[in-house]
Amino acid sequence: MQPTISVIIIEDEPIWLTQLQLSLERLGFSVVAAYTAIDDALINLPKTEFDIALLDININGKNAGIEFGKIIRSVYSKPIIFITGSLDKHTAAEALVAQPSAYLTKPVNDTSLFVAIQQALQNFSVNKIALSNEPYEPDYFFIKAGNHYKKILWKDVLHLFVEDKYVAVALHNETVIYYLRSSLQKVLQSVIPSSIQNKFIQINRSEILNINYAEELFGTTIKACHKVFEVTDNFMPEVKKALHIIT
């Protein structure tokens, strides 16, 4: 199974904390940590892996969540969503400094929560690329799966292949196939991060293989994860080069 989107919650009111946890679980997200005090969050956050944070603006004091949001953005470089009972003009202006991806008011309904998290994650990645002086190349991507977006690690992609007007994405540890509306060449040149493009080798006109999973080359076929892939003559030199064959 692929890792789900992991969320941390900082909320000091038990009723709202419980509601958020239940909503997130219903929506398929993973709540990896829930804190009722900022001090506890500060201590435990360095050892917590998460994708996004939901913050009560007024936790442990008026607007204290805003200051904590600034820390998450600047130190951990993660998107944040502020949650509040009410949002006046002055508080909203103050909260803007923390660069939240969204504001949600209590009680939070599932639809608003789902949309806010999905958009926050997508927009955060795009903005990070645009604002950085250096290329930002995450080791994962989100792909549409039904009515939601699925987080997939590049290292888990076994191969990509053309299917009608799509590029199908097959994983080494899942039977589910995901689909990108793109061409194979565009995926190879622009979608796969440049730092790992040398691991994704085109083996014929319609397939790309993650060479890390190659187990055996026999004639014109490669065995990988108990599957056999056909290599055509035009692509064989690059395949052999990627396999570091010693003759």
Predicted confidence at residue 137, as pLDDT, reads 58
Any domain includes 139 = no
Predicted confidence at residue 127, as pLDDT, reads 52
Do both 96 and 180 map to the same domain?
A: no
Do both 166 and 118 map to the same domain?
A: no
Q: How far apart, in Å, are the Cα atoms of 57 and each of 10, 17, 26?
A: 9, 13, 24
CATH number (domain holding residue 195): 2.40.50.1020
What CA–CA distance (Å, rounded) separates 242 from 231? 13
pLDDT at 119 over 60: yes
Q: Which residue has better confidence, 217 or 145?
A: 217
Predicted confidence at residue 199, as pLDDT, reads 93
For the ranges 71-80, 125-134, 158-167, which has the lowest average pLDDT?
A: 125-134
What CA–CA distance (Å, rounded) separates 152 from 179? 12
Residue 238 belongs to domain spanning: 155-242
Q: What number is the average pLDDT over the span 226-243? A: 94
> What residues contact residue 98 under an 8 Å CB cut-off, 6+ apart?
66, 67, 69, 70, 73, 80, 82
Do both 164 and 127 map to the same domain?
A: no
Tell which of 131, 166, 199 closes a domain: 131
Q: Which residue has better confidence, 206 or 37?
A: 206
Predicted confidence at residue 1, as pLDDT, reads 39
Predicted confidence at residue 125, as pLDDT, reads 60
Do both 19 and 119 map to the same domain?
A: yes
Whether 8 and 65 have beta carbons less than 8 Å apart is answered as: no
Predicted confidence at residue 229, as pLDDT, reads 96
Q: What number is the average pLDDT over the span 214-221? A: 94
Any domain includes 143 = no
Q: What number is the average pLDDT over the span 33-52? A: 86
Predicted confidence at residue 227, as pLDDT, reads 93
pLDDT tens-place string over residues 155-172: 999 999 999 888 999 999
What CA–CA distance (Å, rounded) separates 103 from 158? 38
Do both 23 and 123 map to the same domain?
A: yes
Do both 124 and 166 map to the same domain?
A: no
The total number of structural domains that make up the chain: 2
Of 107-111, 183-187, 223-227, which one has max mean pLDDT? 223-227
Any domain includes 142 = no
> What residues contact residue 47 under an 8 Å CB cut-off, 6+ apart?
none
pLDDT tens-place string over residues 219-233: 999 999 989 999 999
CATH number (domain holding residue 71): 3.40.50.2300
Q: Which residue has better confidence, 148 or 200?
A: 200
User: How does residue 142 score in pLDDT terms, banded at 50, 70 and 90?
Assistant: confident
Q: What number is the average pLDDT over the span 70-96? A: 77
Q: What number is the average pLDDT over the span 202-227? A: 95
Do both 54 and 121 map to the same domain?
A: yes
Let me know if 181 is exposed, middle or buried by CB neighbors in 10 A (0-12, 13-18, 19+): exposed
